[in-house]
């Protein structure tokens, strides 16, 4: 089983309206390959099924989306999150700790 596969699995475990972080995932996988997580999500095989937009950076930053660290794609990610009930302000998660899903 590949590292990225586990990443997808964990992603799918994140309930709507909540989020998680690359770090949490890495921890859960007992790995420090946080970048690989980003890569895995970028090369997400099932973009809708795997809610990769629910994964953000540890400091509450949105992170990136579809290979962009800023720009229109990120806005899309934000609106998706807001639709699901996660407030985003200034490209950052509002009440980060409250919506953070821990595995």
**10's tokens:** 């964990």
Minimum CB–partner distance for residue 79 and DNA (Å) = 14
Cα–Cα nearest to 11, from 95, 32, 22, 88: 22
Minimum distance of DNA from residue 61's CB (angstroms): 7
x/- string (CB under 7 A) for DNA, residues 57-76?
A: xxx-x-xxxxxxx-------
Query: Minimal CA–CA distance to 81: which of 31, 16, 33, 36?
Result: 16
Which residues are near DNA by CB under 7 A?
2-4, 21-23, 26, 31-44, 52-53, 55-59, 61, 63-69
């Amino acid at each position: 089983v590949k590292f990225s596969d586990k990443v997808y699995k964990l992603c799918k475990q994140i309930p709507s309206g909540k989020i998680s972080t690359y770090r949490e995932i890495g921890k859960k996988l007992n790995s420090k390959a946080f970048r690989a997580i980003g890569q895995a999500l970028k090369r997400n095989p099932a973009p809708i099924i795997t809610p990769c937009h629910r994964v953000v950076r540890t400091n509450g930053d949105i992170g990136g989306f579809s290979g962009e660290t800023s720009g229109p794609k990120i806005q899309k990610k934000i609106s998706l999150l807001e639709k699901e009930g996660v407030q985003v302000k200034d490209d950052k998660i509002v009440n980060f700790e409250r919506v953070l899903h821990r595995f």
